[in-house]
Structure 1
Amino acid sequence: MSRIPDIVKPHLRTFDGGRCRHLTAYLPSITLCMSVAAVLLIVPAAAHISRDYGFFTRDPTQIGNIPRYAGYLSSLGVMAWTVGAAVSLFTSAVLVSRSRDDADPRFFLFFGGFTALLGWDDLFLIHENFILGEKSLFLVYGVIALTGVVLFRGVFRNEATGFAQAAAAAFLLSLSVDAGQRLIERQIGDIRILIEDGAKFIGAVCWAIFLCKIGAASISRCTHE
């Protein structure tokens, strides 16, 4: 596994194992409190836009009165992001008290959080309503991803890296089709949407597989140390 570059180690030392373990102990309570807050937030939100509570709690297909299978690929994509994020954050919590390699838990924490952010974006279409424009937000995501690759480049030498490479290729294809959507749609019609969204979905699945494989390998290795 990779080591953290010397230039960034001083900034990471404050996050020692003891402090991380102390924080981890409070995560269940924090999660529960955030869940309760999410439910209570519906009350002022409903009053603010003059909607009933069901507008916020029911499935969008029920609210929109459309077939339940509408947008099913998008829903599966969000599930893939969620699996990748959950596995990564869980692995980070396990490794923080067991691993001897400082890079291990930080890799999973970094990319677990980033994957959760991408899932949040995919679910609520944040990029399409970003104040500085969609391209600006995609640029930020690209910088975050490249930063993670540089900091944890040793991890990407893992045998599971082929899935990460496939994910990157799929995302680039999806972004390329989106960037040239008008020209491409003139040539191939509505199938352009299938290629764009299908590539993004395959990318999310490949990325989740990558995180699951190296997460399982890291937990297995640290339990046998």
Structure 2
Amino acid sequence: MPRLSDLYSQIHKNLFSLALVIAISSIPIGLVVFLRVWKDIPPEALLRDPVMFLGGEVYVGMASQFGIFLWAAAAAIPLFAGYLVGCHGESSKLRNFLVASGFLSLLLGFDDVFMLHDEVFPDSVEKIVYLVYASAVLAFLVRFQSIIRRTDYLLLVMAFVFFAISIGLDQLHLPDINGFFWEDSAKIVGIAAWLVYFFQASAFSINVMLLKQRTAPIPQVALKR
């Protein structure tokens, strides 16, 4: 059994981590309380699994749920790599590239998961939302072009191509094809390419950090006589 003093020491040492846990968990819980008070939405509608709440089959939304995992990984991997690179004093531009990659993935994933451009925003501003996202991506590419050119960016190009196909099919509404299948299939391929690219870019950044550490000159220590 751990001693009380050890437990106190653990609490004191992990105050920031404990505060972070509380802050993160307060976001969805606070949202549930807010919507309950504001819109009288029952908490179970927000807390329970949609399939269970609506009484649907377990396979409903299976591919969409898979996409959520891909987006989550695409956000978490570069954010963690950025943390590692920053902790080891690597260049701020490399760290900023990884952090920006993570938050950009988080933004796009958040829109996809909660269907912001499809359901939340009115149709009149859907194109504006697309323009905002495109501007964010363009700013990211311009800001970090020197780093991106050093990576295997073919998969990033592939992701953009399939995202463009998905958006195009969503806008065209072609009557002779199964729009939902091809649109969402293209989106899943795009997300997968996006994830693999940022996995490789994160690995590249960590390798750069490790290589610089190996080749760093050993500091000379004066010996006392």
Higher relative contact order (CA 8 A, sep 6+): 1
Q: Is residue 192 of structure 1 aligned with residue 179 of structure 2?
A: yes
Take 1:104 and 1:28, find their aligned partners in 2: how far apart are those partners? 28
Once the two structures are superposed, the pairs formed by residues 206-217 of structure 1 within 5 Å of their partners are 206-217=193-204
Take 2:17 and 2:103, find their aligned partners in 1: how far apart are those partners? 14
Q: Is residue 205 of structure 1 aligned with residue 196 of structure 2?
A: no
CA shift for structure 1 position 56: 1.4
Equivalent position amino acid for 1:108 in 2: L
Give TM-score, length-normalised by structure 2.
0.80
Q: Could you report, residue by residue, the CA deviation over 1:13-69 in whole angstroms, capped at 9, with x for unpaired residues?
A: xxxxxxxxxxxx957633531313422442342244334322211100111111121
Q: 1:118 to 1:31 in 2, by over 3 A?
A: farther
Take 1:162 and 1:29, find their aligned partners in 2: how far apart are those partners? 40
Moved more, 97-106 or 77-86: 97-106
Moved more, 105-114 or 155-164: 155-164
Equivalent position amino acid for 2:91 in 1: D
Take 1:167 and 1:175, find their aligned partners in 2: how far apart are those partners? 12
Contact 1:177 1:196 in 2 (8 A): yes
Q: 1:28 to 1:195 in 2, by over 3 A?
A: farther
Secondary structure of 2:87's partner? coil
Q: Could you report, residue by residue, the CA deviation over 1:143-184 in whole angstroms, capped at 9, with x for unpaired residues?
A: 110111111112222342111011011001111111211xx1
Q: Could you report, residue by residue, the CA deviation over 1:171-211 in whole angstroms, capped at 9, with x for unpaired residues?
A: 01111111211xx12x22xx221111111111011101101
Equivalent position amino acid for 2:35 in 1: A
Take 1:141 and 1:158, find their aligned partners in 2: how far apart are those partners? 24
Once the two structures are superposed, the pairs formed by residues 38-49 of structure 1 within 5 Å of their partners are 38-49=28-39
Q: 1:78 to 1:159 in 2, by over 3 A?
A: same
Take 1:97 and 1:171, find their aligned partners in 2: how far apart are those partners? 34
Runs of 4+ in structure 1 deviating by more than 6 angstroms, as ranges, are none
Take 1:28 and 1:212, find their aligned partners in 2: how far apart are those partners? 28
Secondary structure of 1:144's partner? helix
Take 2:64 and 2:103, find their aligned partners in 1: how far apart are those partners? 20
Unaligned runs of 5+ in 2: 1-14, 213-225
Take 2:17 and 2:142, find their aligned partners in 1: how far apart are those partners? 28
Unaligned runs of 5+ in 1: 1-24
Take 1:127 and 1:160, find their aligned partners in 2: how far apart are those partners? 30
Q: 1:87 to 1:33 in 2, by over 3 A?
A: same
Contact 1:92 1:109 in 2 (8 A): yes
Take 2:194 and 2:38, find their aligned partners in 1: how far apart are those partners? 38
Equivalent position amino acid for 1:56 in 2: L
> Residue 14 of structure 1 aligns with which residue?
none
Secondary structure of 1:158's partner? coil
Contact 2:159 2:191 in 1 (8 A): yes
Secondary structure of 2:145's partner? coil
Equivalent position amino acid for 2:53 in 1: I
Corresponding residue to 1:101 among 87, 91, 107: 91
